[in-house]
Each structure stands twice: as structure tokens, then as C-alpha cells.
Amino acid sequence: MKVISTEYSQILGARISQRLGVGLVDVRFSKFPDGELYLRTGAIDEEMIVVGSVTGSDALVQLLLLIDACSESENRLVIPYMGYARQDKQFKPGEPLSARAIAQAVANGVRCICTVNIHDEDVMRHFGLPTVNVSLGKDIGAYLKSEFSNPIILAPDDGARYFAEKIAESGNWEFDHLEKTRISGELVRMDPKNLRTAGRDVVIVDDIISTGGTIAAAAVMLYEQGAKSVHAACVHGVFTGGAYTHLAAAGIKSVICSDTIERACSEVSAAGIVSKALSEC
């Protein structure tokens, strides 16, 4: 068995190989003058673990090429971040169900698939293969436990409340979610539904931080309500459109994510939980 990864998941791929105690295949990536992607792998094994986050078009094509390069092997696929998983419904006539299209494409040539905090687990059915989705809630909670003594864990909305609860269990902390109140046509206020945050360290948690707009706006209001400090944590740090700067400018003291998308603030690794899950895949 060996591990192989796209260049978008090279750090996580190396960590998974170390966890499993198996070889890591060297891959060289380049582009042709017309922009087409090219890769060439080192020696592969009869059984391969292919690791690749789908963070954009190039990442997707690299993953497809890598799976094809391992076509003579029995392959297990790890998708740490599947960006198209959020496009899981057809809201208007003529729209593609993008999550289904991507799922069916990457499933060709693999025997099973492992994802990490996929945005909607209903997407898993589109793979048409045995699948397992793991959560980094406990791992993020363990990291926060090393940094804070008694924070409030806060979800940005009711939909993320379950994720916040799982993180809060790590330290037996209080948790809550933000509730929006529309004051006027343009003015919206966000407050914790049940808990007071005055004088407390607050960590806003979510599976994905994309633009960071909601979290930044919430941080400003939490400081107005007397919060001691505000921090942000997520599994997938997309950080599009200068989101990290936007969060820092709003007064958020620290931002952490995992290595499902490899960032400078990737303080939590998915390698351990993925390595364990692969035994079930």
C-alpha cells in the first residue's frame, strides 16, 4: 500500500502516509503551454490511497488524472474538501446538480471514498460506492482546549449548532448559536440566542469559512456586547476574497482551520481520523 496526493493535498497526504506507516509516491506536476495539466507519478503499488481536495477546477482535473494514473491499482479515495458539495440541489430549471456531477466523475476507478465534514451528507449517495464521512469536531475541540480555559463555543446559525455542540463536548463548555434580528431593511443584529458573552472568550465555529462576512459582523457585535475576545475556528478554510484579512480587521484574535485545505493557519490535521477511517473503507 502507498499514498499518493495532488499538489493541493500534499501535506495531508504525507501525514497520512506517516500515520499508516506506508510509502508516499512522488508526483511531478506541470502545465503545457496551452494550460492543460500534466502529471507523472513515481512507482505505485497494487493498493493505493489517493488524496485530493477539490478546491477548484485545476484541483479537480489533477485528482481525475491521478486516479487514472493509478488505474491498474485498487484505489481508496480521500476527498478532504469537496467544494461542489454545497451545490446539491437544482433550484432553477436548467441548473446542474453539481455535487452529483463531481461525485460521479471522481468515483470512477476507486473502490470506496472517505470525506471530511462534507457540507451535506446526502451528497454521499451520488458516489454510488461505499463511503465514510468523518468529523474533525473533536480534534478542533482538543486544540481549543489547549488554548482556552472556559470559552463559549458559538455557531453562526442554528444549522451549525450540532457541530458547535460536538466541539463544546471536548471541554464541557457552554455553547450557543447566533440568532439574527432584522431591525430595518438594511440593518440586521446578531446575538447569541441564550448565553451572555460579556467578559468571556468566544470561539465562533463552523464547518467552512468562505467569505467570513457573517463571522466578522458577529465579532463586531460581540465586542459591543462586552466579549473579552473573539476567535474563529473551522474545518475547511476557504478564505475567499480576502476573508482572513476581513476577519482580522473585525477584531478576531485568531483564526484556525484544518489541513483539508492547506493554509498557514492549519493548526489541526485530518490525518489521524482519516487514517483510522480508511480501515472501514
**Domains of the chain, first to last:** 2-135+270-280 (3.40.50.2020), 137-259 (3.40.50.2020)
Mean pLDDT of 203-221: 93
Write down the catalytic residue from 2, 89, 138, 180: 180
Q: DSSP secondary-structure letter at 151?
A: P
- Is 180 noted as a catalytic residue in this protein? yes
| 196: its cell numbers | 451572555
Instruction: Please report the pLDDT score of residue 181 as a whole number.
Output: 57
Position 189 pLDDT exceeds 80: no
Confidence label for 180 from pLDDT (cuts 50, 70 and 90)? low
Position 30 pLDDT exceeds 70: yes
Instruction: Please report the pLDDT score of residue 119 as a whole number.
Output: 87
Backbone angles phi, psi at 195, to 5 degrees: -100, 150
Instruction: Please report the pLDDT score of residue 87 as a whole number.
Output: 79
Position 88 pLDDT exceeds 90: no
Does this model's pTM top 0.95? no
Name every residue whose Cβ is closer than 8 Å to that of residue 152 and which is 6 or more positions away in sequence. Answer: 173, 174, 175, 176, 192, 195, 197, 200, 201, 202, 203
Long-range contacts, stretch 188-191, CB < 8 angstroms, 24+ apart: 188/217, 189/221, 190/214, 190/217, 190/218, 190/221, 191/221, 191/225
